[in-house]
Amino acid sequence: PTIFDKDEYEDNSVAGVVTGLAWTQVGGDILFIETSISPGKGKLTLTGSLGDVMKESAVIALAYLRANGKKFGIDPRLFDLWDVHVHVPAGAVPKDGPSAGITMLTSLSSAFTQQKVRSQLAMTGEITLRGKVLPVGGIKEKILAARRAGIKEVIMCKTNRKDVEEINADYIKDMKFHYVTEMKEVIDFALLKEKVEHPLDLTIKEDVKPVIAN
């Protein structure tokens, strides 16, 4: 009844793959956000049976990165030179809600920097257009699912601290929680300096004109 079995979990060594925490009808579960980019013109494709609110999360995340890319070492012209595809397996499970926002933004950041994502890390939280992280529901169920999947660290909104403190401390003594209020804190922690193996070459050829100069 859950989306992913524990044995499907794996280290996040591929660029653009980040572990999120979802709250489904049958309880908490982990999910993966996968972002793949390819040369193009900035088109965004979303798959994985996503509902409207979850689709909007991806749009907001991409808009935030487009406006604030420099803070993370991303040349903003890249967003007009590459197409973006965000997928959330499993494809047949309907998914919705805003709580994948920070996971999506981290996934996009990894794809556009080709930096590795910290392993054994999961996250949940809504994002706003100005980069605030908002609290979400179902924290207890999500953390139990994260634990079952071998997750060691979880990022969430500071406002959700009280929900964590209601969980039996013994049960989660091996997990570490990071409380944030800004997207920048999420990315600074989640992305490692190290690039993935065989990273894409994202340098911009000088003769390629960005869209704005056409």
* Residue 36 annotated as catalytic: no
Give residue for tokens 């207890």: 140
89 binds a copy of itself (CB under 8 A): yes
CB closer to a copy of itself out of 49 and 120: 49
Contact criterion met (CB below 8 Å) for 83 and 112: no
Q: Which of 57, 99, 107, 110 is catalytic?
A: 99
For the window 20-49, what string marks contact with a copy of itself as x by the rule CB under 8 A? Answer: ------------x-xxxxxxxx---x-xxx
Q: How far is the CB of 203 from a copy of itself (least distance, A)?
A: 13
9 binds a copy of itself (CB under 8 A): no
Q: How far is the CB of 136 from a copy of itself (least distance, A)?
A: 9
Q: How far is the CB of 27 from Ca ion (least distance, A)?
A: 10
Q: Tell me which residue of 141, 174, 147 sits closest to 160, measured CA to CA.
A: 141
Contacted by 2, from a copy of itself, Ca ion, none: CB < 5 to 8 Å by type: Ca ion
User: What burial letters (b/e) apply to 137-147, b meaning 16+ CB within 10 Å?
Assistant: ebbbbbbbbbb
Contacted by 112, from a copy of itself, Ca ion, none: CB < 5 to 8 Å by type: none
- Segment holding 142, helix H or strand E: helix 139-148
Contact criterion met (CB below 8 Å) for 106 and 123: yes
CB closer to a copy of itself out of 20 and 98: 98
* Residue 99 annotated as catalytic: yes
CB closer to Ca ion out of 63 and 90: 90
Q: Which residues contact 95 (CB under 8 A, 6 or more apart)?
A: 22, 31, 48, 49, 50, 51, 54, 88
Q: Are strands 17-24 and 121-123 parallel, antiparallel or unpaired?
A: parallel
Task: List residues with catalytic annotation.
Answer: 99, 142
